[in-house]
């Protein structure tokens, strides 16, 4: 079975609080019977639910650092944001530490990021249209799901991770290494990049074999790295410091904007990204040529699999970039930039496959929306009233799931019960009258007897 998503739920830890329901940008989560469920067809692995859940009921499925033992020649791909995790260690020391962990090769994704920067500049110089970076997999999935009309505005190039992995794989296989012995591991800061290994975007098959989370690699590195000889770097002069800028929000456009008259914007945070995509979709963005969009706040340094806080990591990367402000001398033609498969819209379930039934359900949907209070409180387990209405129409929820409608129904039932309590069936009315009349006669007879005895 193909692994589609890396964000999963531990049902036993879920308290059904609905915080994740309200915060999910694609309305992919519902709470039923006191437990959350994730609708896979709507999930984009943005990890907002992981950030929101106070009970740690959401988690990320990743590979383990022990998996490198499964390959004769494991290599590590280091993303630009990874160096921001370290204050007392240089990139060279980090690379040496990765070798100590058992990797036979270590490659900087920032190298491919630098190359992609210049490829993107050449592309933008030949067009006047607004384009969106395709480097963040969560943003690409969001566009495919909610904004398919913007797919053609995604930069049609592979992201740096796939560019680097493809280049490394070709280089090592050409050197005589067999495919079975080679294992390419991505050190990933987020679940979004983990999912692309098993569910790739823009390529038929990912060139990466496995993804290990930053936190696991970070703690393993601290055990083997030596603070001594801090100036010693295994590949001194080859660290792509310009490409390292890509690890934080705004780093990509910092390198691109001088070539296109500063007509760029950088937006981070999934809800902010949704806002800007709405504006682009409505043609409300003018005089902008390139948008760098990152699902994680602050860029990749804000990924949930990182260790240190994103503000410190951003400072660390900025400091590295200031110290070394030159691109690495490399052959940009060694990379295969073009996508091997197109970005296509995600097909989501419609109201009904039959057009006539779909129209009937649409009318019913409008009716349900009018009946619901419109408070969007999420107490029903859906993120808002419109989503609950959709679930009602498709048979996945009931109108009484709304606590306000349920209260009205209970009040109506209480009124009916009260009315019933004072009602007598017609067949019993004559009997009651007779009993009442008999009682009155007995009372009068008793009073008469008292008077006679006096």
Q: Give me the pLDDT at residue 228, please.
A: 55
* 454 residues of the chain, pLDDT tens digit each: 345 789 999 999 999 999 999 999 999 999 999 999 999 999 999 999 999 999 999 999 999 999 999 999 999 999 999 999 999 898 999 999 999 999 999 999 999 999 999 999 999 999 999 999 999 999 999 999 999 999 999 999 999 999 999 999 999 999 999 999 999 999 999 999 999 999 999 999 999 999 999 999 999 999 998 765 444 444 444 678 889 999 999 999 999 999 999 999 999 999 999 999 999 999 999 999 999 999 999 999 999 999 999 999 999 999 988 877 777 888 888 899 999 999 999 988 777 777 888 898 899 999 999 999 999 999 999 999 999 999 999 999 999 999 999 998 998 888 888 887 777 666 666 666 666 666 666 656 666 666 666 5
Whether residue 277 lies inside any domain: the answer is: yes
Pair 75, 205 in one domain: yes
Instruction: Specify whether 108 is located in the same domain as 196.
Output: yes
Say yes or no: 406 and 270 in one domain. no
Determine how β-strand 182-188 pairs with β-strand 290-294. Answer: unpaired
* Whether residue 315 is found in the same domain as residue 295: yes
* CA angle (419, 421, 427) in 5-degree steps: 100
Task: Write down the pLDDT at residue 232.
Answer: 44
- Give the CA distances from residue 280 to residues 59, 322, 419, in Å, rounded to whole numbers and listed in that order: 32, 33, 58
Question: Quick check: is 432 in a domain?
Answer: no
Q: Assess if residue 161 is contained within a domain.
A: yes
How far is residue 382's CA from residue 328's CA, in Å, rounded to a whole number? Answer: 50
| Cα-trace Rg, the chain | 32
CB neighbour class for 381 (10 Å; exposed up to 12, middle 13-18, buried from 19) = buried
* Within-domain flag for 182: yes
- Point out the domain boundary residue: 21, 37, 61: 61
pLDDT tens-place string over residues 379-400? 999 999 999 999 999 999 999 9
Helix (H, G, I), strand (E, B) or coil at 30: strand
Which pLDDT score is estimated for 438?
A: 64
Residue 342: per-residue pLDDT? 92
CATH code of the domain in which 397 resides: 1.10.15.40
pLDDT of residue 107: 96
Q: Are 38 and 7 in contact (CB under 8 A)?
A: yes
CA-to-CA distance for 451 and 454, rounded, in angstroms?
5
Cα distance between residue 156 and residue 154, in whole Å? 6
Torsion region of 358: left, alpha or beta (phi above 0 gives left; psi -120 to 50 gives alpha)? alpha
Domain assignment present for residue 26? The answer is yes
Indicate if 53 and 76 belong to the same structural domain.
no
Residue 350 belongs to a domain: no
Strand, helix or coil at 36? strand
Q: Tell me how many domains the chain contains.
A: 3
As a whole number of angstroms, the distance between CA 197 and CA 190 comes to 12
Shared-domain flag, residues 132 and 203 = yes
Residue 452 located in a structural domain:
no
Which of 323, 340, 369 represents a domain boundary (last residue)? Answer: 323
Name the token pair of 22: 């309200």
Please indicate, yes or no, whether residues 197 and 288 belong to a single structural domain of this protein: yes
> How far apart (Å, rounded) are the C-alpha atoms in residues 163 and 170?
11
Task: Provide the pLDDT for residue 244.
Answer: 92
Q: Are residues 201 and 104 in the same domain?
A: yes
Please enumerate in sequence order all residues whose Cβ is within 8 A of that of 427, keeping only pairs 6 or more positions apart, or say none. none
Distance in angstroms between the alpha carbons of the first and the last residue of the chain: 102
Task: Let me know whether 160 and 79 are in one domain.
Answer: yes
What is the per-residue pLDDT for 233?
47
CATH of the domain at 124: 3.40.50.1780
Quote the domain boundaries for residue 30: 1-61
pLDDT value at residue 239: 75
State the pLDDT at residue 418.
Answer: 82
Same domain, 47 and 113: no
DSSP-assigned states of every residue in 191-230: HHHHHHHHS-SSSSS-S--EEEEHHHHHHHHHHH--SSST
72 shares its domain with 38? no
**Residue 126, phi-psi category: left (phi > 0), alpha (psi -120 to 50), beta (remainder):** alpha
**pLDDT in the model for residue 449:** 64
User: How many whole angstroms separate alpha carbon 395 and alpha carbon 177?
Assistant: 55
Clarify whether residues 267 and 392 are in a common domain.
Answer: no
User: What pLDDT is attached to residue 26?
Assistant: 97
At 399, is the secondary structure helix, strand, or coil?
Answer: helix
User: In the beta sheet, which residues pair with residue 157?
Assistant: 338
Helix (H, G, I), strand (E, B) or coil at 73: strand
Measured distance CA(202)–CA(21) in Å, rounded: 29
**Residue 295 maps to a domain:** yes
Query: Cβ of 414: how many Cβ atoms within 10 Å?
Result: 10
């Amino acid at each position: 079975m193909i692994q589609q998503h890396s964000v999963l739920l531990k049902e036993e830890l879920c308290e059904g609080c609905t915080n994740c329901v309200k915060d999910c940008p694609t309305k992919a989560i519902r709470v039923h019977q006191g437990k959350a469920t994730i609708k896979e067809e709507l999930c984009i692995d943005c990890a907002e639910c992981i950030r929101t859940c106070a009970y740690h009921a959401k988690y990320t499925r990743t590979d383990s650092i022990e998996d490198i033992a499964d390959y004769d020649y494991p290599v590590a791909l280091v993303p630009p944001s990874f160096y921001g995790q370290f204050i007392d260690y240089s990139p060279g020391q980090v690379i040496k530490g990765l070798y100590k962990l058992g990797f036979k090769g270590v490659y900087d994704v920032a190298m491919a990021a630098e190359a992609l920067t210049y490829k993107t500049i050449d592309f933008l110089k030949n067009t006047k249209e607004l384009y969106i970076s395709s480097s963040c997999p969560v943003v690409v999935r969001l566009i495919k799901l909610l904004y398919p009309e913007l797919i053609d505005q995604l930069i049609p190039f592979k992201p740096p991770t796939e560019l680097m992995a493809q280049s490394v794989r070709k280089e090592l296989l050409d050197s005589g290494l067999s495919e079975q012995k080679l294992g390419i591991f991505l050190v990933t800061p987020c679940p979004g990049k983990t999912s692309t290994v098993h569910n790739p975007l823009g390529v038929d098959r990912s060139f990466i074999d496995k993804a290990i989370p930053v936190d696991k690699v970070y703690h393993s590195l601290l055990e083997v790295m030596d603070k001594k000889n801090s100036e010693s770097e295994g590949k001194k002069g080859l660290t792509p410091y310009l490409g390292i800028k890509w690890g934080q929000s705004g780093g990509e456009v910092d390198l691109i904007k001088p070539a296109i008259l500063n007509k760029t914007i950088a937006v981070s945070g999934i809800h902010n990204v949704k806002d800007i995509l709405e504006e682009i979709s409505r043609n409300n963005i003018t005089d902008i040529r390139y948008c760098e969009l990152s699902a994680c706040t602050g860029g990749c340094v804000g990924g949930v699999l990182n260790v240190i806080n994103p503000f410190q990591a951003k400072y660390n990367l900025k400091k590295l970039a200031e110290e070394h402000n030159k691109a690495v001398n490399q052959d940009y033609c060694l990379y295969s930039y073009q996508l091997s498969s197109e970005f296509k819209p995600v097909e989501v379930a419609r109201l009904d496959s039959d057009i006539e039934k779909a129209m009937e359900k649409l009318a019913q949907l409008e009716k349900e929306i009018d009946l619901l209070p419109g408070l969007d409180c999420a107490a029903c387990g859906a993120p808002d009233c419109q989503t609950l209405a959709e679930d009602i129409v498709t048979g996945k929820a009931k109108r009484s799931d709304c606590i306000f409608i349920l209260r009205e129904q209970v009040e109506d039932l209480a009124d009916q019960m009260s009315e019933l309590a004072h009602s007598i069936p017609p067949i019993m009315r004559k009997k009651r009258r007779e009993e009442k009349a008999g009682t009155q006669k007995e009372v009068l007879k008793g009073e008469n007897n008292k008077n006679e005895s006096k």
